[in-house]
Structure formats: structure tokens, C-alpha cells
Amino acid sequence: MKDNYYLALADDVELGNKIIIKRTIAKLFMVATILLISGLCVVRLNIGNKQIYKLMLIAFLTIYTYTAKHFILTTKTFNQKLRLKGTSGKITFAYLILLIFLISIELMNMFPLFKLQFSKILFAALSALISAVFEEFIFRGILFNAFLLLFCEEKYDILCTSIVCSILFSLIHMNNLTSQSFISTVGQMIFTLAFGLILSCLRLWSNRLAWCIALHFLQDFSPKIISTNYGISKIGLVILLYFPIIIFVLICIWIINKRYLELRKKETVK
């Protein structure tokens, strides 16, 4: 039915069966851990022949995508896209303006790339694509579904899931400490926390993982991705810019979660 809203995971998992839920959560966590470790190992391989390395990355991306799609259960949050009206519609509109602004900045950051050699542009595109697919399938895909099942009995399960997955997404960037300073890494972690919440909200609004991958690709497709320093050293500026964004996007996610609860309540009354 058009007005029937529920979590898309309910099509694959019996949400009323706690044993099945626990088994599914354990399976998703195990798959996410294996994929995460394998991905971190592959990108850190030191292979002298660049052509062989590129072919290896393409092979990894293909196998990884197939495996992740097989185990993810669903790339949707809801069985159908939520109808956002009133307050939820207005706050979503404000979120979309923020999104357009961020995309505009990311597109401008791309321009210096096209001054480089064609081979470097291709490598940057491949690196950005791998980063986007790898991280989105784990943090807005498999782990998102795992935590959504874990919090399924909580009132604000969607908000809790978005927060936890964004924190984990931020923490995983600590692995860059091997190639950049501590301050730069902290700056990057604050940014990735904000970006993770933006991506989580995008998954909720669009009800698709593909848009998260596309936005992540745009963010990473810049000259920075072919350098060894991805960090942001100006911590004060990072806090000033991204803390308000973090608060705003948290409000957006909370309102979307609240709207979902309202729609579910209307169905119960009917």
C-alpha cells in the first residue's frame, strides 16, 4: 500500500524474532570487519609497477562490490521514500541547500586536478571511486543496517544508527596517523564526523545508497587524494565551520526519524 511505511530490513529479516535479529547482526558485523581489514590491507600494498597496482585495485573493487551487495541485505532505509511535509519538509529543504553548497565547493576543488597528467587524473578518479564505494558500503550500508537492527526497539533507532555509524566513520580515519600529523588527523576526524552525518541524512532522504557513493566520490576526487596528507591542520577553523553543521544535520535526522514515527502511528490508528 502507498501509505504503508516500514523499515526496508523487514523484507529480509523477521524483526519480531530476536534470535534471527542477533544472528543477522553478528553476520553483518563479521562481514563488515572482514571487508574493512581486507580493504585497508589492499590500499596499503606497496607495488612498484603502477599498472599492475591499478589493475589490482580494479579487481579488488569488483570483488568487493559484489561481496558487499550480496551481504548488505538492502540499500534502502524504508520500504518507500518518506513523504516529508510541514516541518520535516522545510528542514529537508534547508538540508538540500547545504548539500548543493557543499557539492559546489567540491566541484570547484576538482578543477586543479585537470591541470595534471591524464594518468594522474585517472588514478585520482580510481582512488576516489574505491574510497567512496569501500566506505559507503561499510558505514552507510552493512554497518548502518546492523545498527538499525541493534536499535530496532528504540524509539529513535534511525538517529542512534546515524550517530554511531558516523562516529565509527570518523574513527577509522585514525589510520591516516601513519602518513600525517596528529593535529591534521584530528581535523580530518571532525570533518569526517560531519560528512558522515551528511551522508547518513542523504541515505534517509533519498532512500538510496547510490547517492551517498556519488557524493563521497565528489568529495574525494581532488588533488588531495593523490597526496600523503589528507588532514586539516587548522582545528579552530574546522570546529567553527563543522560543529554547526553537525548540530544542524543531527536535527535533520531527528526530524526525519520523528516523521517516520508519525507515519507509522497514523497507520496504527487506521
Q: So where are the chain's domains? A: 8-269
Give percent helix, percent strand, percent coil of the chain, each to the nearest 5: 80, 0, 20
pLDDT at residue number 234: 80
**What's the half-sphere exposure (Cβ side, CA atoms, 13 Å) at 144?**
35
Cα gap 19→45, rounded to integer Å = 40
- Specify whether the CB–CB gap between 142 and 72 falls below 8 A: yes
Task: Work out the pLDDT band at 78, boundaries 50, 70, 90.
Answer: very high
User: Taking the CA of residue 52 as centre, how many other CA atoms within 13 Å lie in the half-sphere pointing to its CB?
Assistant: 5
Determine the Cα–Cα distance for residues 217 and 126; give it in Å rounded to an integer.
Answer: 10
pLDDT at residue 229, rounded to an integer:
62
Measured distance CA(220)–CA(106) in Å, rounded: 8
Evaluate if residue 246 carries a pLDDT over 70.
yes
> How far is the C-alpha of 242 from the C-alpha of 238, rounded, in Å?
6
Residue 70's pLDDT band (cuts 50, 70, 90): very high
Q: What is the pTM of this model?
A: 0.93
- The predicted pLDDT at position 116 comes to 85
Q: What distance in Å separates the CA atoms of residue 167 and residue 18, rounded to the nearest whole number?
A: 26
- Can you tell me the distance from the alpha carbon of 11 to that of 223, in angstroms, rounded to the nearest whole number? 42
Q: How confident is the model at residue 93 (pLDDT cuts 50, 70, 90)?
A: very high
Q: What is the mean pLDDT of residues 116-140?
A: 92
Read off the pLDDT band of 114 (50, 70, 90). Answer: confident
Let me know the angle formed at the C-alpha of 75 by 141 and 22, rounded to the nearest 5 degrees: 60
- Whether residue 194 contacts residue 163, with contact meaning beta carbons closer than 8 Å, is answered with no
Mean pLDDT, residues 66-94: 94
Please report which confidence band the pLDDT of residue 13 belongs to, taking 50, 70 and 90 as the band edges.
very high
Which pLDDT value is given to residue 52?
A: 86
User: 169: closest CA among 131, 206, 204, 118?
Assistant: 131
Q: What is the mean pLDDT of the chain?
A: 91
CA angle 203, 216, 182 (to 5 degrees): 115
> pLDDT higher for 150 or 85?
150
User: For the residues 233-243, what does the mean pLDDT come to?
Assistant: 87
